[in-house]
Each structure stands twice: as structure tokens, then as C-alpha cells.
Structure 1
Amino acid sequence: MQLPVTRSLPFIVLLLTACATSGPQSATESSDRKVARTKSERQQLDFRLASGTYRCELGQSVEVERHARGDRAIEVRWEGKQHTLQRQASSSGLPRYEDRQNGLLWIDLPWKSVLMDAHSGRPLANECKPPANRTASG
């Protein structure tokens, strides 16, 4: 059944474009580019998003635990394993968390999220809906 993938493809392309980050900068980077990058990092969006079980397409689920004292990291339980994902700056400012060692990428939007294979760009859990009425734990 190709319908879910076909329907989701434009969303995935848009998400990847919106959440792309630039590669490592050279030591000779101009001061203008440093200022622009610093300004971009300061302009990251900060949503109060839910902790709990996110229900995704194809019957999948992802457990997300957020901490009230900051948005620098989240805990994600995927396929029985616990992962710590660190917040990464994105050009769009959208919340983007990555576990580079294990190749997981979680992109947060208030209305849905996606868990991706950071190496291939392939969605692992798509169209993940947040749990109702739960926010960051204290």
C-alpha cells in the first residue's frame, strides 16, 4: 500500500528543507557569517510540547520525555531503547533533536512530529500526534 508514503512525501521534503542545518564552518569564516549564524541560533522557536506517547502512522508510537528546566535535550524511547537527543539549531528555528551516535532525528511541530533516520533521511515514525493535555514534566 503506497498511499501513506505518497501522501507524506511532500511533507517529508518540506520538513527536511525547513530543518536543514549547515555543515561545519571553516576557520576563515567571515565575521558577518558568524554574526548571522549566532543570530539564527538565538531565533530558535520554543514550543511547550507534550511529554508522553506520540501515536504515529502505521500503528507506531514514540515515547517522548521532556524536562521543564530546558529544551536542550529530550529522552526518546523507540523500539524498546532509550535515547537522549540533543537540540540542534535549524535554519527554520523549528525544534530539531538529534542522537548522532545512533542516527536518530526528532523534528517537533505543535501539531505533529516525525522520527527519522538521520543518516538516510528516511522517516522511521511519521505523522506522530502528541498526547492530549500533557506538557513538559517538572
Structure 2
Amino acid sequence: MQRFFSVRSLGDPTVYRGAFVSWVSTLFGLVLGLTIGLTAFQTHAQTSNTSPQVKPMGKSAEVAKRNKGGGAKNPQANKTAGLHDAAHFANLPTLTPMQLELAQQVLLGQMPCELGASVLVQALPQAAGYFQIHFGKQRFVLAPVETSTGALRLEDPRTGAVWLQLANKSMMMNSQLGKRVVDECMSPSQTQVARAMEKNPPPSLLEPMPTPKILQNSFAQQDSPN
């Protein structure tokens, strides 16, 4: 105290008042700092206790996460997934002998179509005479039907899908929507027929039909004088 106060200032009350205010301010600052620090520590401790802990993902969890939502993408597996599901095709109607005979004429395999598209025609081993046709992500189950046009026709009444097989090409139509789905689908044998038809095109339907020779002779006899 002797350092801060001279002999003259010992009796001055202002000096004591200023010293007291300074001491109180310092003490208040220390208390305030300790309070803020303690509050921050408690908040951090509560946050650490309530925050979820991330556990390392095991191998089984990784496999489950990878397979979630349909599993690994395997186009070939998806294409053949329904071929051997006997329960799915158990309620299909039994085909007639004529339909089974027509089924033997259906061309099978992967066929390129117009505009870079393709179809896959497969026979169903668990449903005699039925076929499964894949077009993009769509899959149809069709059976032969008798026609009088000469074209081989497969139908799926449930979806309205119609598969027409001609000598030079095949096409997919939708009878419910009344539109053609994909055209110019060709197997190797159909490709050969299409090339042969390009070299020797068949007669156009718009051209007049040639008169049979028998009719020509008949007309000639009618025109000849008696």
C-alpha cells in the first residue's frame, strides 16, 4: 500500500473508493470468466454423451447395403430370372395340338431390330408352347394363335403384346394401344430371306394380277368368229 499511496493520500477517501472499485471489477471478471468456462465445459460434455457413435461397417453390413434395392445389376440374370419360376407359370392354359405345332416354328434367340433395339425370344421349359420375349425392361409371355394370313402370331392377352413372325422379319405390336412397338427384328435365317427379297423383290400388291392362261384361251375362243 505504501507503494500506491503517498502519505498525503492516506486520509483521502477517494483513493480508497477507487481501489475498492478496481478490486471488485477484477474479482467480478474472474468470476465471470470461470462461469463461462464451466458452462462451455458442461455443454461439450453433454454433446459428447448424446451424439451417436459411428461404428465401423462390417463385411456383412457392406454386402447388405450393396444388395439393398434389388441387388447387383446383372442384365443376363434379370433376363433369365423368370424362366425357371414354375409357380409363376403354373396357371397358364394348356395349349391345343395345333398351337404346339405352331410353337415349333418360332425362331429363338437374340435378334437385332430397327434403331439399335433388340429382342430376346426364349422358350419356357416349364410351359410347353409358351415363349418369353424380352424387349428393354419389358417381359412378355406369349403363346401361338391360329391365323389365316400365313404369318406366325404369338399373343399375350394380359398385356396386349403381339409378336408377328414373317419370313423376312418379325415385329412386336400392342393390340391394346393399337401401335407398333418395334419392327425389323431379324434372326440369321430371316436376314438371308430379306437379302434375297431385295435382289428379287416380290410382285407389288398394287400391280395388276396376271391373267391365267386358261382364261386367256377362253376369251380368245369367245372373240373368234364362228
Question: How far, CA to CA, are the matches of 1:99 and 1:112 in structure 2?
Answer: 20
Question: How far, CA to CA, are the matches of 1:78 and 1:84 in structure 2?
Answer: 12
Match of 1:50 among 101, 104, 107: 107
Match of 1:66 among 107, 114, 123: 123
Letter in 1 for 2:155: E
Equivalent residue of 2:178, what SS? coil
Q: Which has the higher contact order (CA 8 A, sep 6+)?
A: 1
* Structure 2: segments with no counterpart, 5+ residues: 1-97, 190-226
Question: What do the CA deviations read for 1:71-117 (whole angstroms, capped 9, x no partner)?
Answer: 83211012223221011111224210011111110001232100001
Cα 1:120/1:81, change in 2 over 3 Å: closer
Equivalent residue of 1:76, what SS? strand
Identity %: 28
Match of 1:92 among 149, 156, 160: 149
Question: How far, CA to CA, are the matches of 1:94 and 1:116 in structure 2?
Answer: 14
Q: If you compute each CA radius of gyration, which structure gives the higher value, 1 or 2?
A: 2
Report if aligned partners of 2:110, 2:118 keep a CA contact under 8 Å in 1. Answer: yes
2:144 pairs with 1:114: no
TM-score when normalising by structure 1: 0.54
Cα 1:86/1:79, change in 2 over 3 Å: same
1:79 paired residue number: 136
Question: How far, CA to CA, are the matches of 1:46 and 1:92 in structure 2?
Answer: 16
Equivalent residue of 2:187, what SS? coil
Q: Which runs of 4+ in 1 moved over 4 A?
A: 44-47
* Structure 1: segments with no counterpart, 5+ residues: 1-40, 133-138
Higher strand share: 1
Report if aligned partners of 1:54, 1:128 keep a CA contact under 8 Å in 2. Answer: yes
Letter in 2 for 1:79: G
Aligned-residue CA RMSD (Å):
2.9
The alignment covers a number of residue pairs equal to: 91
2:186 pairs with 1:124: no
